[in-house]
Structure 1
Amino acid sequence: MMKKIALIGNPNTGKTSLFNQLTSSYAYVGNWSGVTVEKKVGKLKPLVHPGELSKYTDGASGASGQFRDLDGELIDLPGVYTLNPLTNDEAVVSQFLINEPFTDVLNIVDASQLQRNLHLTLQLIELGKPLVIGLNMVDVAKQHGMYINYKRLSQKLKIPVIPIIARTGKGCRQLTQQMATTYTETKTAQSFQIYYGHIIEKAITRIENELTAKTKKRLPLPARWLALQFFEGNSRVYDYLQSIIASPFLDQLYKEVQIAIKKTESQTIHHYIYRKRNQYIQSLLVDVEETTAPQATTLTEKIDQVVTHRFLGIPIFLLTMFLVFMITFDWLGFPLSDGLDKFLSGPFSEWTKISLTQINASPYFESLIIDGIIAGVGGVLVFIPQIIIMYIFISFLEDSGYMARVALVMDRFMENVGLNGKAFIPMIIGFGCNVPGVMAARTIEQPRERLLTMILMPLMSCSARLPVYALFAAAFFAKNQALIVLSLYVLGIAFALILAKVFTMTFLKNESSIFVIELPPYRLPHWSTLARSVWDKGKVFIKKAGTIIFAGSVFIWLLTFVGPYGFDVEMNESYLAVIGGVIAPIFEPLGFGSWQAGAAIITGFLAKEVVVSTMNIVYYAPDVVTLQGLMTNHYTALSAYSFMTFILLYIPCMATVATIKKETNSTKWTVVSVVYPFVLAYALSFLIYQIGTFLGF
């Protein structure tokens, strides 16, 4: 039986971790609210032998029906608190439930926050699809002195409830086997129902009757669920109902119910329905939630007293990042990268050259391989150790829960510039890559703040810029590499905040904003999850090396090999020199007015890593002299820092520009996101170089 199971839950309930445990594929995991911003699909892992089912299921927990092998897909949807969409990622869920085919629902629930999580659960039960609850974080609930009687909860809700710890995989096999047990949709839909009072129930019946009259075929969704979502203000459901029922009928009915509820309950319809569900949940918790011990101050609360301190929070964050950069660039990363560089430029290049000679390769082909591909691609690959080390620490901070605290600490500053702390989360993601950072802005409720976050994303220093920083920092700032790189990251954040204030005072006026973020408990990341997270990020970089950087290196080599006067020309007479020379005078006031720098800036639009590939080709020295050594002949420490600042801020890469266009659906704002970084990069690099020169640096 082929199943399509929708995985739905509140943000930060371990939903994506569970997805990775149950499927053979991997999705990005981060320990903060709203990390999943689009639908992800994974093939379910195979089950154990059906004869073992009795060991892992319990009739009291809701297991029933005939066991079958579970063949299907698990669809990981964005974390939401309600099915009524406020943000773009919440709209993905409602749109999926209405328009996409699926057979079952897997609802992951945080046992330590049961009351809040059950609001979404009740809406999913009303949906009428076969449903299983994965009761996650039972270990966290225990630490808080709570025990959830999952068997009694299952009996009350009339659906299966399986306790799990998604982070470690405990209970996940039992959950998989439970999902393999078949249920009838009719039983799930009719076995549970909340009474919402005479006014709402009567209005629901009117919509049900209208749907029956207007359509002869069976609706894909229960009419009662559609009616309830309509009265709660779900715009996607309203659009769906409009395709069947005339708008005047819906609008008039909503108005009548709103007036009646306001008169009798002094509430809006949405708040009234919420209160009715909450009353049911409160009565449910009395039966299923047991306090096992007085709640003491947890380790999470003790740590938060320090790291979220009003005055200490930001210095602690900066110190943490400084230590990360020290390990990445000074203590561990540089020796590894230096060793890989010596291998690629030494033995590997020599072996390749000997092999090409033995097969009588033409000089042109040999030059392409040695001077183009190995110099270009290899020049970027040498920085993989530093990038992987950076990913390890960033992933550790994400999965441990610390990055959510950084967003909270930054909220005070973000609010002063027209954003809130939630906008800092996509910016943190942008440190890895600007593309998912732009996409993560979907989780921001306010359209203005969402747009502002996306167009500021190019100022976040992504990992693609790290090879440039590593190259120049090692060449000119060997004793202070970590401090120099940290200053660039801070510079990007600082100017993002400054420009946010400028934009909110001019083009994007302020609107009211409320910052709400759920702080997860601190957890030691599971090693397998951490390893997969690092690999998932690292393979993107390696994939770039095998595609964009490879193709770019070949193209750049060709431009250095061919010139206006023929083939196999001197580098200074090549087409690349001509192209770079055209724009070189523009950058003379910034301290890097050579054609080589101009060429690298142009090719950097493809991907920022290509900047180093270009330099490795145009400055190529086959024997002892390294690229870092050659840089000291063409740059000073001041011009090097000016160049790094320019690379930090100037136009985003091609993939980021395309993503901004897709997410904003606006040519105007896409152009703005390209133009203003270039102007800012030029102005700031100009000031750095000119002031530095005046002061004698």
Structure 2
Amino acid sequence: MGVTIALAGNPNSGKTTLFNALTGSNQFVGNWPGVTVEKKEGKLKGNKEVTITDLPGIYSLSPYTLEEVVARNYLLQERPDAILNIVDGTNLERNLYLSTQLLELGIPVVMAVNMMDIVRKSGDEIRIEKLAEHLGCEVVTISALKGEGVMEAANRAKKLAESKQKQKHVHGFAPEVEAVLETIERQLLGVPQEQQRFFAVKLFERDSKITETMEQVPEVEDLIAKLEAAMDDDAESIITNERYEYITDVIEKSLVKKQAKGKLTTSDKIDRIVTNRFLALPIFAAVMWLVYYISVSTVGGWATDWANEGVFGDGWKLFGLVDVPGIPVLVENFLTSVNCAAWLKSLVLDGIVAGVGAVLGFVPQILVLFIMLAFLEGCGYMARVAFIMDRIFRKFGLSGKSFIPMLIGTGCGVPGVMASRTIENDRDRKMTIITTTFIPCGAKLPIIALIAGALFNGASWVAPSSYFVGIAAIICSGIILKKTKMFAGDPAPFVMELPAYHMPTVGNVLRSMWERGWSFIKKAGTIILLSTIFIWFTSSFGMVGGKIKMVESLDQGFLANIGKGIAWIFTPLGWGNWKAAVAAITGLVAKENVVGTFGILYGYEEVAENGSEVWGNLAASFTTIAAYSFLVFNLLCAPCFAAMGAIKREMNNKKWFWFAIGYQTILAYAVSLCVYQFGTVLTGGTFGVGTIVAILLTVIFLYLLFRPQPKERSTSKNLSSVSVDGARV
């Protein structure tokens, strides 16, 4: 018979690292029944009978966030066989608040004190025996990052689950509180005995969200009211204080700190610099510039040049000695040897190899970017960035919580949009969904790299600037939208745990890089492949003499006719040729299609005739200003179909969905028009109608940006109370 173990812990306690260490590749991801929060499950390594369920990272079982609701409902209704409670050993006091609630559920609990390598390094000592004695549960020490003790913790939980031993909660509240709780427990006749303490506490706290189906006994209400009057506090605060007094007592008996109280840790010393009010933003800008510079202009650029010119080009020299032909050469030789039909040869070479190869050629840059982002996340810096951005976003009407989806969106816009679920405030959540895809995702990196390399000679400022164009779009959108009735109101409070800085393991960094990179490669093998076949067919075939035939020139194909019909729309943006217009439209299917489309359209007949480089032909079709305008439009406009689908699901409303897509597209068009028109004037161009339109758009934009905040009828509607670890903020 199978055993189910639930992983529960605070955010940044190392829960995900432990889950990966216990399950390896035996994972599957879905959604919790009835709600759109990610559900991760996996089989324990070496034991397929044990299922590990990774609960969302939470601070308590109080129903204030969707994650807390999901975790609490799962534990109460599904009743896993055991709970593996992951606790950050460097911050026991905060983490033990959730532990005291888990121990009240009546489910066997094994506490895994994580980050013991950091605890030992600091000279602190956690007396595990004392901790286990006072908490009344098994306690083990682990280092999920280094893989120390992780399987022992899982096996302890498995053994405890199989023994069917019920968890005995030994947490003693003050006598007067305990008396009321015992009275409540006697009234809970329909509740299983092992769950009675948890429900008694929730009834004491008047937690209507979990006890609304249970009848309150008037005598109990009187007892709680009298106790509140005697202790001069509300019921929830009484329980919170009781928990912390208990936790403080446990900490005093179980933790011996070497470091003097008030002395700064290494992480605190680093934070005094990287989160400094004045230095934080310049440091963040420098870090992101370095990330994109290495990914696009140096290491990633060199690897991509090798891939484009060697693997997907004429070939390369192995160890500088042996000539190795590129994939196009090998494929062409094979097709020639088997006397392949001309149309099929064109499909394979000019369609599939040229299109998919153009996209896959940028995989090295993408992998380098994902490695660097994984390192920043793993060492703890990106958690600081969320804290830094909260300080900025809050001034413009957004919460720091909005940056978390945007951070996730650097890999792919779909999970970025889905991550907005963690934002409780509906207005903030909708605004985050609308703006998340402004951050360049992995699919947009090939476009950035292509423009930077082919049209700006690899200039180091182009790629980082694209990131900050996205940030600027988010901030400006936040200011403008918050001044409308639809989004008016205070941003949601933002509280998060900042983990201690540590060196991430190579395995975790590579795993993160591969998970993100593999999704990009799979897309190239499916969506991009089908798209390039469609692009090849519509560009290679057209109406000749009333019949559909293969055309001699791309200008005669179906795609050219479609492109010429819409190209005028983009003329004010500086790239009104049909090839660029078609590339921008195909980018709506998948952003990588922009590069694949260019690979087909600029590598079809030009290369066949004169042998010139594909990207050289592309560069000849754009001015530098028009190229940057094209880049900005593709960064800010409506995302790919997959991300649009995610937006539609998260909005759950057609009007909001079309508002989001319309806003993104209109903003992209307006910004790109201004970039081209003003850029042309500044570089010696003429002042025309387009310039006047750009000036008018700028005036409207500045008015929307700096107009006064509309007065609200009542500010009380915007006030909210959020509980984290039982403390209201």
Q: Specify if TM > 0.5.
A: yes
- CA drift at 1:140: 2.5
Tell me the amino acid that sits aligned with residue 615 of structure 1.
F
Correspondence list, 1:7-46, <5 A? 7-25=7-25, 38-46=38-46
**Are residue 264 (structure 1) and residue 245 (structure 2) matched?**
no
Alignment-derived partner of residue 489 in structure 1:
467
- When residues 490 and 568 of structure 1 are mapped into structure 2, their CA distance, relative to the original with a 3 A threshold, is same
Q: Say if 2:3 and 2:158, in contact at 8 Å, map to a contact too.
A: no
Q: Assess, with a 3 A threshold, how the Cα gap between structure 1 residues 631 and 649 changes in structure 2: closer, same or farther.
A: same
Matched, 1:316 2:289: no
Matched to 1:568, the amino acid is M
Is residue 447 from structure 1 mapped to residue 419 from structure 2 by the alignment? Answer: no
Residue 568 of structure 2 corresponds to residue 568 of structure 1: no
Aligned to 2:399: 420
Please identify, of 91-100 and 416-425, the stretch whose mean Cα deviation from structure 2 is larger: 91-100
In structure 1, the residue matched to 2:49 is 71
Does residue 281 in structure 1 map to residue 259 in structure 2? no
How far off is 1:157 after superposition?
2.2
Which amino acid counterpart does residue 166 of structure 1 have in structure 2? A
Give the superposed CA RMSD: 2.4
| C-alpha distance after superposition, 1:24-62 (max 9, x if no partner) | 22789xxxxxxx962211110127xxxxxxxxxxxxxxx
Deviates more, 1:196-205 or 1:330-339: 196-205
Q: Tell me which moved more, 113-122 or 291-300.
A: 291-300
Give the structure 2 partner of residue 53 of structure 1.
Answer: none
Shift of 1:489: 1.0
* Matched residue count: 653
> Offset at 1:531?
0.9
1:282 and 1:297 map into 2 onto residues whose CA distance is: 21
Superposition pairs for residues 391-540 of structure 1, below 5 Å? 391-480=370-459, 482-506=460-484, 507-511=486-490, 513-540=492-519
Instruction: State yes or no: 1:298 paired with 2:277.
Output: no
**1:598 aligns to what?**
581
Contact 2:444/2:635 (CA < 8 Å) preserved in 1? yes
The separation in 2 between residues aligned to 1:394 and 1:594, in whole angstroms, is 36
Residue 139 of structure 1 aligns with an amino acid whose one-letter code is: D
Letter in 2 for 1:288: S
Letter in 1 for 2:327: F
| CA distance in 2: counterparts of 1:80 and 1:302, whole angstroms | 27
Distance across 2 between alignment mates of 1:360 and 1:231: 83
Could you tell me which amino acid in structure 1 is paired with residue 210 of structure 2? V
| Corresponding position of 1:669 | 656
Equivalent position SS for 2:38: coil
| 3-state SS, counterpart of residue 406 of structure 2 | helix
SS of 1:96's equivalent in the other structure is helix
**Aligned counterpart in structure 2 of residue 199 of structure 1, from 180, 183, 192:** 180
Change in Cα spacing, 1:516 to 1:583, as seen in structure 2 (3 Å) is same
Quick one: distance in 1 between partners of 2:225 and 2:644? 48
> Partners of 1:603 and 1:479 in 2: how far apart?
25
* Structure 1 equivalent of residue 682 of structure 2: 695
Q: CA distance change for structure 1 residues 564 and 589 in 2, over 3 Å: closer, same or farther?
A: same
Shift of 1:312: 0.9
CA distance in structure 1 between the aligned counterparts of 2:21 and 2:42, rounded to whole angstroms: 10
Once the two structures are TM-superposed, the CA of residue 626 in structure 1 deviates from its matched residue by 2.3
Structural mapping, 1:44-443, within 5 Å: 44-46=44-46, 71-100=49-78, 102-183=80-161, 187-190=165-168, 192=170, 194-195=172-173, 196-206=177-187, 208-209=188-189, 211=190, 222-232=195-205, 237-238=210-211, 242=213, 245=214, 249-250=215-216, 259-294=225-260, 296-343=263-310, 344-346=312-314, 347-443=326-422
Shift of 1:256: 5.1
State TM-score, norm by structure 1: 0.89
Contact kept in structure 1, 2:428 and 2:491, CA below 8 Å = no
How many angstroms apart in 1 are the aligned matches of 2:432 and 2:220? 35
The letter of the residue matching 2:667 is L
3-state SS, counterpart of residue 600 of structure 1? helix
Partner residue, 1:546:
525
What is the alpha-carbon distance in structure 2 between the residues aligned to residue 284 and residue 199 of structure 1? Answer: 23
Q: How does 1:622-641 map to 2 (within 5 A)?
A: 622=607, 624-641=611-628
CA deviation string 1:523-567 (max 9, x = no partner): 111111111111111101111111111111112112123324412
The residue type equivalent to 2:89 in the other structure is: A
| Structure with more relative contact order (C-alpha pairs < 8 Å, separation 6 or more) | 1
Which amino acid is the alignment partner of residue 588 of structure 1?
T
**Structure 2 unmatched ranges of 5 or more:** 29-35, 315-325, 685-729
1:644 and 2:631 equivalent? yes
Compared CA separation, residues 293 and 501, structure 1 to 2 (3 A): closer
SS of the residue aligned with 1:188?
Answer: coil
Deviates more, 1:143-152 or 1:548-557: 143-152
* Aligned-partner Cα distance in 1 for 2:77–2:542: 56
Share of identical aligned residues, percent? 38
Equivalent residues of 2:367, 2:517 under 8 A apart:
yes
Instruction: Tell me which moved more, 449-458 or 191-200.
Output: 191-200
Identify which range, 163-172 or 449-458, moves more after superposition.
Answer: 449-458
CA distance in 2, matches of 1:257, 1:684: 64
After superposition, the Cα gap between the structure-2 partners of 1:512 and 1:655, relative to the gap in structure 1 and judged at 3 Å, is: closer
Residues in 1 aligned to 2:401 and 2:270: alpha-carbon distance in whole angstroms: 21
Cα distance between partner residues in 1 of 2:341 and 2:216: 77
Give the secondary-structure state (helix, strand or coil) at the position aligned to 1:6: strand
Instruction: Find the aligned partners of 2:222 and 2:530 in 1 and give their Cα distance.
Output: 64
Q: Quote how far apart the aligned CAs of 1:92 are.
A: 2.1
**Kindly tell me: are residues 350 and 291 of structure 1, through their superposed partners in 2, closer, same or farther at Cα, counting changes over 3 Å?**
closer
CA distance in 1, matches of 2:536, 2:83: 54
Residue 695 of structure 1: how far off its partner (Å): 2.2
Q: Which runs of 5+ in 1 are unaligned?
A: 29-35, 48-69, 213-217
Tell me, in whole angstroms, the C-alpha distance in 1 between the residues paired with 2:259 and 2:668.
58
Q: Which amino acid in structure 1 is aligned with residue 112 of structure 2?
A: G
- Contact kept? 2:438, 2:636, Cα under 8 Å: yes
1:447 offset after TM fit, Å? 3.0
> In terms of mean alpha carbon deviation, does 138-147 or 2-11 score higher?
138-147
C-alpha displacement of 1:354 = 1.3
Give the SS at the match of 1:605.
coil
- Paired residues of 1:472 and 1:640 also in contact (CA < 8 A): yes
Tell me the equivalent position of 1:64: none
Could you tell me whether the CA contact under 8 Å between 1:203 and 1:257 is conserved in 2? no
Tell me the equivalent position of 1:612: 595
Are 2:136 and 2:168, in contact at CA under 8 Å, matched by a contact in 1? Answer: no
Q: Using the alignment, how far apart are the partners of 1:167 and 1:24 within structure 2? A: 13
614-623 vs 538-547, which deviates more?
Answer: 614-623
Q: What is the rounded CA distance, in whole Å, between the counterparts of 1:185 and 1:498 in structure 2?
A: 58
Change (3 A) 1:407 1:251: farther
- Provide Cα deviations, 1:292-319, integer angstroms capped at 9, x if missing partner: 3535432212211211111111011111
* Alignment match, 1:50: none
1:171: Cα distance to partner?
1.2
1:453 Cα deviation from its structure 2 partner: 1.4
- Give the corresponding residue for 1:589: 572
